Amino acid sequence: MANHKSAEKRNRQAQASRLRNRANKSVMKNAVRSFREVIVEGTVEESREALRKATSVIATTARKGTIPKKTASRKVSRLAKMLKAKEAPVEVAA
């Protein structure tokens, strides 16, 4: 438990920040989850739209400082890679 006034304030700030970061991460994870669902079940157009939304949410989360920028970049890259694989025509080996 904090004993000084400044430490008590810092503790309150940390608690508020933790809750804010948790909410931001939850929104981001839901966006990624919905993108993954659309990739499996939806069309390519729906997948593109879902990727656009997920990318926006991930970028916002990084901009707010909840996740590092490189982590956001890696997540977006992996999601885009999934979409690219869905768009690519399937080649049949002879």
Tens digit of each residue's pLDDT (9 = 90 or more) over 31-73: 999 999 999 998 999 999 999 999 999 999 999 999 999 999 9
Contacts within 8 Å (CB) and 24+ apart, 26-31: 27/57, 27/61, 28/57, 28/58, 28/61, 28/66, 28/67, 31/57, 31/58
Mean pLDDT of 17-32: 98
Q: Reply yes or no on whether the pLDDT at 92 is more than 70.
A: no
Domains of the chain by start residue, with CATH: 5-81 (1.20.58.110)
